[in-house]
């Protein structure tokens, strides 16, 4: 008997950060680590968005989340920075402008 070949389905496409987007994000993360405000990060790639989460401590909720949501590119902008409570800190079309929210010294982690 001949075996029937198994149909291989390609994986579902996921949204990810491009390497040109990762460099400024990692620069921000590095500055936060050097200042003692961050210790860990996580990257998530989903069907409709990508997440770069920055943690103050391990096993906590992220202090900041940088998200890429391509479906909002022509409306509000595809890049968003969220705070720990889920509030939108900055949103826009240009990643470098959105990441400038971390240049301000007004965001301090309160314990």
Average pLDDT rounded to a whole number, residues 34-59: 89
pLDDT in tens, 52-101: 999 987 667 889 999 998 888 788 888 999 988 889 999 999 999 999 99
11 or 17: which carries more pLDDT confidence? 17
Round the average pLDDT of the chain to a whole number and report it. 86
Q: Which residue has the tokens 């790639």?
A: 45
User: What's the per-residue H, E or C state across the chain?
Assistant: CCCCCCCCCCCCCCCCCCHHHHHHHHHHHHHHHHCCCCCEEEEEECCCCEEEEEECCCCCCCCEEEEECHHHCCCCCCEEEECCCCCEEEEECCHHHHHHHHHCCCCCCCC
Residue 106, pLDDT > 80, answer no
């Amino acid at each position: 008997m001949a075996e029937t070949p198994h149909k291989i389905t390609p994986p579902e496409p996921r949204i990810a950060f491009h390497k040109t987007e990762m460099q400024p994000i990692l620069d921000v993360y590095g500055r936060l680590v050097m200042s003692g405000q961050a210790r860990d990060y996580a990257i998530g790639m989903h069907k409709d968005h990508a997440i770069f989460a920055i943690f103050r401590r391990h096993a906590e909720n992220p202090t900041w989340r940088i998200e890429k949501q391509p479906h909002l590119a022509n409306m509000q902008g595809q890049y968003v920075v969220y705070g720990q409570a889920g509030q939108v800190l900055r949103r826009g079309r240009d990643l470098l402008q959105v990441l400038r929210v971390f240049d301000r010294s007004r965001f301090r982690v309160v314990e």
